[in-house]
């Protein structure tokens, strides 16, 4: 009887949840604990079905529009951010809002507002229709031109000496963004913008770790949702590095055909995918044959974002002790 050779599984580091996702999920969970269900969440809190279903089971109700939220109901804005019109609608209805917008997305909103206040036309590098892009375009007081590719830069209907600035969606490929910024710099003589280092730390770290992983493995599995921008970028990077790469939600989507000639399989996860789904994929690989699992050394992430003040548990103040005389 021939034994199946052991398959090596290498886990990318870092992978999975980032600080903005942890904060957003915690806001919904703490709101449910403090106020009781239902808590209404505008849009998927993060782009992951497992996370959304877990929160639904605890009493969260997900809506795409504020008119679906009853009067006075606790309302959470998703990690992707919202347009000012959404904030204004919530304020007009006096809805109690908890804003789970990632602080790094808010930073992009503020950059855009600052550039426009200086009289510059504004370009947003991002994917049309993505909720973060919709939110950012709706936060900036003035027209925002969306650029998705180098070709879009050439098509901009602006004079080459127009005072211009750019901002970027946080979950893009660092390389794609760099190419578009280079095209903007080539064309426009008066251009301002943040450094590519301003693409969110988690996006960059996960992309770097996939590049490192691709040098060591035969196949890459990216655990994440199909509507997760950063997960899609991770799969694209693996493919660009010449490694067959697949985006899967969990172990049930694993196709054994992908592994036919693979001795070493790399696994990473998008910033909105919980580690339990990585474990599920490893279990699916174990059902195919024996495996060893190890982690590729990578960058440690210790970033935490503060929760909204109303959800932070304060220690009750002790009553002063009356001294006996």
Is residue 322 over pLDDT 80? no
Q: Rounded to whole angstroms, how far apart are CA atoms 153 and 22?
A: 35
- For the chain, the farthest-separated pair of C-alpha atoms sits apart, in whole angstroms, at 88
Is 74 found in the same domain as 112? Answer: no
Considering the candidates 33, 87, 132, 304, report the single residue annotated as catalytic: 132
Look up the domain containing 177 and give its range: 104-197
DSSP secondary structure string for all residues of 98-162: EE---HHHHHHHHHHHHHHHTT-EEEEES-TT-HHHHHHHHHSSS-EEEE-SHHHHHH--S-TTS
Is 287 found in the same domain as 245? Answer: yes
Q: Rounded to whole angstroms, how far apart are CA atoms 249 and 52?
A: 13
Is 285 found in the same domain as 229? Answer: yes
Cβ atoms of 218 and 264 within 8 Å: the answer is yes
Q: Rounded to whole angstroms, how far apart are CA atoms 275 and 50?
A: 11
Residues 6+ apart with CB under 8 A from 65: 42
Is 277 found in the same domain as 216? Answer: yes
Instruction: Tell me the torsion sign for CA atoms 98, 101, 103, 108.
Output: negative
Identify whether 135 is part of a domain: yes
Picking from 156, 177, 197, the residue at the C-terminal end of a domain is 197
Identify whether 281 is part of a domain: yes
Identify whether 302 is part of a domain: no
pTM: 0.90
Is 162 found in the same domain as 84? Answer: no
Q: Rounded to whole angstroms, how far apart are CA atoms 222 and 206?
A: 11
Identify whether 310 is part of a domain: no
Q: Rounded to whole angstroms, how far apart are CA atoms 209 and 75?
A: 36
Residue 89: give its domain's CATH number: 3.40.50.11270
What's the mean pLDDT in 207-216?
Answer: 96
Q: What was the pLDDT predicted at 1?
A: 47
Picking from 50, 73, 101, the residue at the C-terminal end of a domain is 101
Is 177 found in the same domain as 191? Answer: yes
Is residue 292 over pLDDT 90? yes
Cβ atoms of 147 and 176 within 8 Å: the answer is no
Is 232 found in the same domain as 147? Answer: no
Identify whether 316 is part of a domain: no
Q: Rounded to whole angstroms, how far apart are CA atoms 229 and 273?
A: 12
* pLDDT-based confidence at residue 5 (cuts at 50, 70, 90): confident
Percent of the chain topping pLDDT 70: 94
Is residue 141 over pLDDT 90? yes
Q: Rounded to whole angstroms, how far apart are CA atoms 118 and 320?
A: 54
Is 291 found in the same domain as 205? Answer: yes
Is 140 found in the same domain as 215? Answer: no
DSSP secondary structure string for all residues of 252-271: GG--GGGGTT-SEEEEEE-T
147-to-138, 184, 208, 221, 314 alpha-carbon distances in Å: 16, 10, 24, 29, 45
Count of domains for the chain: 3
Picking from 101, 134, 153, the residue at the C-terminal end of a domain is 101
Q: Rounded to whole angstroms, how far apart are CA atoms 277 and 271?
A: 12
Identify whether 133 is part of a domain: yes
Identify whether 322 is part of a domain: no
Task: Choose the most confident range, by mean pLDDT, from 193-202, 252-261, 304-313.
Answer: 252-261
Is 232 found in the same domain as 169? Answer: no
Residues 6+ apart with CB under 8 A from 313: none
Identify whether 115 is part of a domain: yes
Q: Rounded to whole angstroms, how far apart are CA atoms 176 and 125?
A: 10
Determine whether 275 is an active site residue. no
Q: What was the pLDDT predicted at 314?
A: 59
Name 268's bridge partners. Answer: 222
Is residue 321 over pLDDT 80? no
Is residue 115 over pLDDT 80? yes
* pLDDT-based confidence at residue 324 (cuts at 50, 70, 90): very low
Is 170 found in the same domain as 154? Answer: yes
- The DSSP bridge pattern shows strands 60-63 and 39-42 to be parallel
Q: What was the pLDDT predicted at 323?
A: 41
Q: Rounded to whole angstroms, how far apart are CA atoms 284 and 291?
A: 11
Is 257 found in the same domain as 183? Answer: no
Residue 287: give its domain's CATH number: 3.40.1010.20
Q: What was the pLDDT predicted at 2?
A: 52
């Amino acid at each position: 009887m021939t034994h199946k050779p052991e398959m090596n599984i290498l886990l990318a580091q870092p992978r999975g949840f980032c600080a903005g996702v942890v904060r957003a999920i915690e806001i919904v969970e703490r709101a449910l604990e403090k106020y009781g269900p239902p808590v209404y969440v505008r849009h998927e809190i993060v782009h992951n079905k497992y996370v959304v279903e877990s929160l639904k089971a605890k009493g969260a109700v997900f809506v795409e529009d504020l008119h679906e939220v009853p009067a006075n109901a606790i309302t959470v804005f998703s990690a992707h951010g919202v347009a000012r019109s959404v904030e204004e609608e919530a304020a007009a209805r006096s809805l109690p809002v908890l804003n789970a917008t990632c602080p790094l997305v808010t930073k992009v909103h503020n950059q855009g507002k600052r550039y426009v206040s200086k009289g510059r036309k504004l370009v947003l590098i991002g994917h049309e229709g993505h909720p973060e892009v919709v939110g950012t375009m709706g936060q900036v007081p003035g027209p925002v031109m969306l650029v998705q590719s180098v070709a879009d830069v050439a098509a901009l209907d602006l004079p080459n000496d127009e005072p211009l600035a750019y901002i970027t969606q946080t979950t893009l490929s660092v390389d794609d963004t760099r190419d578009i910024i280079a095209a903007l710099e080539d064309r426009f003589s008066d251009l301002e913008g943040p450094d590519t280092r301003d693409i969110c730390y988690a996006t960059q770290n996960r992309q770097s770790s996939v590049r490192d992983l691709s040098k060591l493995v035969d196949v890459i599995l990216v655990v994440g949702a199909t509507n997760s921008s950063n997960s899609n970028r991770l799969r694209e990077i693996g493919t660009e590095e010449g490694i067959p790469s697949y985006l899967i939600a969990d172990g049930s989507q694993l196709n054994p055909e992908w592994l036919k000639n693979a001795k070493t399989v790399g696994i990473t996860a998008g910033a909105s995918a919980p580690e339990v789904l990585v474990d599920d994929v490893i279990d699916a690989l174990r059902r195919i044959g024996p495996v060893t699992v190890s982690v590729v050394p990578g960058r440690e992430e210790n970033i935490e974002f503060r929760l909204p003040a109303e959800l932070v548990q304060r220690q009750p103040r002790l009553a002063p002790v009356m001294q006996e005389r």
